[in-house]
Amino acid sequence: MKESKGAFYITILLLIALGSYIISTGDLGMGVGLIAGALGVFALKFIQNRKISQMAQKGLVAHDERSLYLSSKAALAAVRVYILILALLVLAGSVLDPLWPLTPWDLIGILLALMVFLWIGFYYNYNRVE
């Protein structure tokens, strides 16, 4: 657990350092966005860890079999929808040959964000339904 927290803090520091470097090269928007995203994730993770510690102090279980079940079910549904969306994007791209410029790094970022949002959406949907 401590190794995981250490890796998280190192990742946040690296993202902030990368954002600072990008700002120094002249790309203010990308650098500020990267730093803001890193600080936002850090703040949310800090709040989540504080809630989990408060639950542990009260004797409540923060992660049980139900949360693991919902997480795996949401991940499977997200992957299925993600594959369908990717297949449709490849088909549309091969047929329509869009003219809008998109670098591979932008595409990777968009697809990664899509996967994360799909998983979060399915997790909260299954949490509400089941």
Task: Tell me, yes or no, whether 58 and 74 share the same domain.
Answer: no
Q: Which of 62, 90, 109 is the last residue of a domain?
A: 62
Q: Are 9 and 46 in contact (CB under 8 A)?
A: no
The DSSP code sequence of 18-52 is HHHHHHHTT-HHHHHHHHHHHHHHHHHHHHHHHHH
Task: Tell me, yes or no, whether 79 and 47 share the same domain.
Answer: no
User: What's phi and psi for 99, nearest 5 deg?
Assistant: -95, 0
Q: Which of 36, 62, 88 is the last residue of a domain?
A: 62
**Integer Cα distance of 63 and 71 in angstroms:** 11
List Cβ neighbours of 68 (8 Å cut-off, separation of 6 or more).
none
Task: Tell me, yes or no, whether 11 and 46 share the same domain.
Answer: yes
**Integer Cα distance of 41 and 10 in angstroms:** 13
Task: Tell me, yes or no, whether 71 and 129 share the same domain.
Answer: yes
Q: Are 36 and 16 in contact (CB under 8 A)?
A: no
Q: Which of 62, 77, 106 is the last residue of a domain?
A: 62
Task: Tell me, yes or no, whether 49 and 79 share the same domain.
Answer: no
pLDDT confidence of residue 67: 79
Task: Tell me, yes or no, whether 43 and 56 share the same domain.
Answer: yes
**Integer Cα distance of 39 and 50 in angstroms:** 16
Domain range enclosing 104: 64-130
Task: Tell me, yes or no, whether 8 and 34 share the same domain.
Answer: yes
pLDDT in tens, the chain (130 residues): 566 788 889 999 999 999 999 999 988 888 888 899 899 989 988 888 888 888 888 877 766 787 788 888 999 999 999 898 888 877 777 676 666 666 777 777 788 888 888 888 898 888 888 7
pTM value is 0.56
Q: What tokens does 104 get?
A: 């591979």
How many domains are there within the chain? 2
Task: Tell me, yes or no, whether 49 and 101 share the same domain.
Answer: no
